[in-house]
Amino acid sequence: MPSGASSSSVVARAVEAIARWSARWVPNAFVIACLLTLVTFGMVLLVAGRSPIAAVGYWTKGFWELLEFTMQMALIVLTGYTVAVSPVAARSLAFIAGLARSNRGAVALMGLVSMTASWLHWGLGLIAGPIFLQFLIRKHPHVDYRLAVAAGYLGSTCTWHAGLSGSAPLLMATPKNFMEAQVGLIPVSMTTFSAFNLALAAVVVTVMTVALLRLYPRADRVRSTADVLDGRFTTAVADAPADSHANHVRPASGFSLALAIENRYALNLIMGVLGLSAWWSLYAEGGYRVSLNIFNFAFLFLALLLHPSPASFSDAASKGASYLHGIIIQFPFYAGMYGLIRYSGLAETIGRWFVAIASVHSFPLIIYWYSGILSYFIPSGGSKWAVEAPYVLSAAQTLGVPPAQAILAYAWGDMSTHFLQPFWAIPLLAIARVDFKDIIGYLAILFLVNAVVVSIAFALMPYLW
């Protein structure tokens, strides 16, 4: 057997083993949050040496402490969704889908769109990939469907936390965040817009796009939409309307002023212009600092401008809200863990562990891999940062590592293992009508490529900073 075929067989077996292990042993995200709460309680009792009554007090003290952050994260998803499903965005995606001249190029374009959209806005990328897939399949019906779907997930694995809506960098730049007293405000100019982060993002996007081109199977191994779905290609992809909200007009038996306002663009235009004007004033008053509130404010009113009527906007927001339950329910539990870790002194203890095994030069790489492994079990960048930040930043301060380096190492690590974790792929999988097992083979290979590139970057980070 040729060495190439042997290597492919080894990778395929490893991927299947990972898929079987995940299906058998990894529960849903809410169960994970509950189990981690119990583990954190145990660590407070055994490691920090606190009493059960004291531990309950720390938990309840932290449980509602991140409500503002929870709402900010929910708005990121919701505003991204409403922008992504607007008629303007849909027409733009349809045009871009026509730019690919071959099936191989179509897959590369799918990955590029997903990574770019996620860098611009986490919620936008979460939805733009699945929507773009619809247009891509119409233009290229014989493209390898598995690789196309996998490419649509790259934004959630390669770029979102390094981009404009990355939750950890934005939170640390937001006044009155829960870590400000410890490390102060860290502007995005030192994280998201640092030369290191921008260069790494550009390299990763380039490498992953080339990897997609190289991974495209031979003609006899291509599995098209019909092959993968066994003839069950549903209207969710094949016959979905190009502009799902373009002609959203509520029926009326006669003239109604209320319905006239709901179904015309005038109010959207007025409120959109007013909101974006106010946004610029707010941005200037804040010293031109980008924060979660500034970011959400801009995209909320941009979404209004991009929809043809209040009814269209409201309908999109209503559908987008269906993706928020995980954030709304789970974030308080992670806030409770934050309270346990912070108020019990456990943060200082874990911080000392990192100090013991790391140096100023190895710390970024260690945090990258630690955050990646933890992210496999806690697939939520914002809530997980509430758990990690107290001890990660404490250890960074002790070692003399700039906080911005720790934040970026966390951000890149947080999204790295999403390749192997289906939580953020749920919208894509639902629209594509495939199981995670159908695409994890390609994702596992892409994970290895990405991990090598980013690990090298963080090993060199202290010398390049």
Q: How do residues 26-65 score in pLDDT, each as one tens digit?
A: 676 688 788 889 999 999 999 999 999 999 999 999 999 8
Residues 435-447 have a mean pLDDT of 85
Residue 229 reports pLDDT greater than 90 = no
Going by pLDDT thresholds of 50, 70 and 90, the confidence category of residue 1 is very low
Please indicate, yes or no, if residue 3 is contained in any of the structural domains: no
Q: pLDDT tens, 302-337?
A: 999 999 999 999 999 998 888 788 778 888 888 898
324: in domain = yes
Provide the domain count of the chain. 1
Q: CB-based contacts of 169: which residues, under 8 Å, 6+ apart?
A: 161, 186, 188, 191, 192, 407, 408, 411
CA distance 404 to 9: 41
Can you give the pLDDT at residue 25? 74
The average confidence (pLDDT) of the chain is 85
pLDDT band for position 294 (50/70/90)?
Answer: confident
Residues 377-432 have pLDDT tens digits of 666 666 788 888 999 999 999 999 999 999 999 999 999 999 987 767 877 876 77
Residue 232: pLDDT band by 50, 70, 90 thresholds?
Answer: very low
Mean pLDDT lowest among 92-101, 125-134, 395-404, 422-431: 422-431
Q: Is residue 259 part of a domain?
A: yes
Decide if 116 is inside a domain. Answer: yes
Residue 12 lies in a domain: no
18-32, 213-227, 230-244: range with lowest mean pLDDT: 230-244
Confidence of residue 264 (pLDDT cuts 50, 70, 90): very high
Q: What pLDDT is attached to residue 27?
A: 72
Percentage of the chain surpassing pLDDT 90? 45
Report the range out of 129-138, 182-191, 373-382 with the highest average pLDDT: 182-191
Residue 167, domain extent: 68-464
Q: For residue 412, is it within any domain?
A: yes
Instruction: Note whether residue 58 is domain-resident.
Output: no
**How high is the pLDDT of residue 241?**
42
Determine, yes or no, domain membership for 37: no
Higher pLDDT, 90 or 113: 113
